[in-house]
């Protein structure tokens, strides 16, 4: 019997940084040159970042495509997880759209693509629809007499403990839920030398975050998280996980008894303003080819019934690249593939939502030496990874000559420093050493 097994990260989830690195490697081939040409073609002046919508859209008629692409230049200290969270994107979204960009230490002034346009899943348009393949949730609701949709990135179940598909319903909602640790998860943590209490009250250590929507499928929830850098990864025991700010919005909007449909559609076809778009995502290994057959049939139907000519070489290229971005594949009257809308060039925000804050160095506090490295970039990367643990552990790089020390802290007691060192050992396999400064 599975009892609330999905309410906390799997043993692999606590090493989410490894999954992020692997994700970046998977998407490291493809359209880096295309992204560079796109960035160089943009106008010089930027638009404020809050001028582009990222969550709430009106669905126009029988249209299937919402939002639009954007680009933004990076600044020193940025990480792709921070950029992703600020724009309500998942790690999967931003890594696939920017192959070859270092996840944790991207180049300052490098311009990245923000994939803020989406093709709606090929399903009914009411209640909540979750597409596992795109790791994205869509909540359909009314905006006056118009159909509207709110969309958020999610974290989903691992291959070993996948998120179930099918029809469900929200049975109850809870602000500041208590997590009752299931036996299976307790056993996993004991094996790692990380025993858990029988229940975890609301607070920073609670993996459910501040809000939870309980589903009719027993033991599965849509909830927040204390590990926001895992959004856009297969990192849960089956639950659906959202950024803290996104679950708060969904909690307020979606009432009890809202229908929930979970599907797996890596290939999506849609139309907007007479243009046919194809979106291809890296399919889950176990998902097979059924969805591609459906998408292919839809493309053929558009071509035969609507008289819209498609460029099948472009279709093939989109499928191979699998960048998770809607791409025009129809041909205009001149015989050329319809050009994509020019992305909006955004100015860098003054402050990124949820970006970890590093306290000032305190000579009277405790610290943890996480590593001493010769390469400064490697040290910065490790510090960034530690900063994005959940709950966060502040970390910085102190350089002296050709050595770069990664220090976690400050902590107000030896016990707190020892607890942090223990977490770094369990989560990241680092032999960290506490010390008093």
- pLDDT, tens digit (0-9, with 9 covering 90-100), for 353-382: 999 999 999 999 999 999 999 999 999 999
Q: Is residue 358 part of a domain?
A: no
| Banded pLDDT at 307 (limits 50, 70, 90) | confident
Q: Is residue 360 part of a domain?
A: no
Between 180 and 405, the more confident residue is 405
Residue 345 above 80 pLDDT?
Answer: yes
**243: helix, coil or strand?**
coil
Residue 303 above 50 pLDDT?
Answer: yes
State the DSSP string of 253-319: HSPTT-EEEEE--SEEEEEETTEEEEEE----TTS-SHHHHHHHHHHHHHHHHS---B-HHHHHHHH
Give the residue-averaged pLDDT of 244-254: 97
**Catalytic sites, residue numbers:** 223, 239
Q: Is residue 49 part of a domain?
A: yes
Q: What's residue 43's pLDDT?
A: 42
| Count of all residues that appear for the chain in the document | 437
Q: What's residue 428's pLDDT?
A: 92
**Which CATH number fits the domain that encloses residue 162?**
2.40.440.10
Percent of the chain with pLDDT over 90: 69
Cβ neighbours for 63, distance < 8 A, ≥ 6 positions apart:
270, 271, 272, 273
Q: What's residue 376's pLDDT?
A: 95
Q: Is residue 361 part of a domain?
A: no
**Which CATH number fits the domain that encloses residue 406?**
3.30.70.1070
Residue 29 above 70 pLDDT?
Answer: no
Residue 227 above 50 pLDDT?
Answer: yes
Q: Is residue 33 part of a domain?
A: yes
Query: How many domains in the chain?
Result: 3
Residue 284 above 60 pLDDT?
Answer: yes
422 CB neighbour count, 10 Å cutoff: 15
For residues 26 and 47, give the distance between their C-alpha atoms in angstroms, rounded to a whole number.
Answer: 32
Residue 236 above 70 pLDDT?
Answer: yes
Q: Are 218 and 303 contained in the same domain?
A: no
| Range(s) of the domain holding residue 214 | 5-263
Give the residue-averaged pLDDT of 108-114: 92
Q: Is residue 132 part of a domain?
A: yes
Q: What's residue 98's pLDDT?
A: 95
Between 18 and 152, the more confident residue is 152
Q: What's residue 45's pLDDT?
A: 57
- DSSP class of residue 7 equals G
Query: pLDDT tens across 181-191, in order?
Result: 878 888 887 88
Residue where a domain terminates, one of 231, 248, 263: 263
Q: In the structure encoding, which two tokens stand for residue 83, read together?
A: 């950029």
Between 184 and 235, the more confident residue is 235
Buried/exposed 209-243: b ≥16 CB within 10 Å, e otherwise: bbbbbbbebebbbbbbbbbbbbbbbbbbbbbbbbb
Q: Are 322 and 373 contained in the same domain?
A: no
Q: Is residue 31 part of a domain?
A: yes
As a whole number, the mean pLDDT across the chain is: 87
Q: Are 101 and 73 contained in the same domain?
A: yes
Q: What's residue 287's pLDDT?
A: 64
State the DSSP string of 350-396: SS-TTPPP-PPP-TTSEEEEEEEES-HHHHHHHHHHHHTSSS---EE
| Banded pLDDT at 291 (limits 50, 70, 90) | confident
Q: What's residue 184's pLDDT?
A: 80
Q: What's residue 198's pLDDT?
A: 84
Residue 1 above 50 pLDDT?
Answer: no
Query: pLDDT tens across 115-158, in order?
Result: 999 999 999 999 999 999 999 999 999 988 899 999 999 999 99
């Amino acid at each position: 019997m599975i009892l609330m097994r999905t309410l906390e990260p799997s043993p692999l989830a606590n090493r989410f940084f490894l999954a992020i690195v692997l994700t970046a490697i998977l998407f490291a081939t493809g359209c880096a040159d295309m992204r560079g040409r796109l960035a160089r073609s943009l106008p010089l002046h930027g638009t404020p970042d809050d001028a582009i919508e990222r969550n709430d859209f009106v669905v126009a008629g029988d249209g299937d495509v919402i939002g639009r692409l954007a680009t933004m230049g990076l600044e020193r200290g940025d990480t792709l997880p921070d950029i992703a969270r600020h724009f309500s994107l998942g790690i999967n979204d931003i890594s696939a759209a920017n192959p070859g960009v270092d996840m944790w230490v991207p180049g300052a002034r490098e311009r990245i693509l923000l994939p803020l346009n989406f093709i709606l899943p090929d399903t009914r348009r009411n209640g909540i629809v979750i597409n596992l393949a795109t790791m994205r949730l869509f909540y359909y609701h009314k905006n006056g007499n118009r159909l509207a949709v709110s969309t958020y990135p999610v974290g989903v179940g691992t291959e070993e403990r996948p998120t179930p598909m099918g029809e469900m319903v929200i049975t109850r909602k809870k602000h500041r839920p208590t997590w009752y640790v299931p036996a299976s998860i307790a056993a996993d943590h004991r094996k790692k030398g990380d025993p858990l209490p029988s229940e975890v009250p609301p607070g920073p250590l609670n993996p459910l975050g501040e809000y939870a929507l309980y589903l009719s499928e027993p033991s599965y929830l849509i909830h927040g998280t204390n590990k926001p850098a895992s959004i856009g990864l297969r990192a849960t025991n089956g639950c659906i996980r959202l950024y803290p700010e996104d679950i708060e919005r969904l909690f307020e909007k979606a009432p009890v008894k809202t229908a929930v449909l979970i599907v797996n559609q890596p290939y999506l076809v849609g139309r907007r303003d007479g243009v046919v778009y194809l979106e291809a995502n890296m399919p889950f290994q176990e998902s097979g080819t059924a969805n591609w057959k459906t998408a292919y049939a839809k493309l053929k139907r558009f071509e035969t019934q609507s008289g819209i000519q498609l460029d099948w070489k472009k279709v093939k290229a989109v499928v191979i690249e699998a960048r998770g971005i809607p791409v025009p594949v129809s041909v205009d009257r001149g015989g050329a593939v319809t050009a994509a809308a020019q992305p909006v060039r955004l100015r860098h925000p003054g402050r990124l939502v949820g970006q970890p804050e590093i306290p000032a160095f305190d000579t009277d506090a405790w610290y943890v030496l996480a590593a001493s490295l010769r390469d400064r970039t490697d040290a910065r990367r490790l510090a960034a990874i530690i900063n994005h643990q959940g709950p966060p552990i502040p970390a910085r790089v102190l350089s002296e000559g050709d050595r770069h020390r990664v220090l976690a802290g400050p902590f107000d007691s030896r016990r707190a420093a020892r607890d942090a060192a223990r977490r770094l050992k369990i989560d990241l396999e680092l032999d960290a050493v506490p010390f008093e400064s």
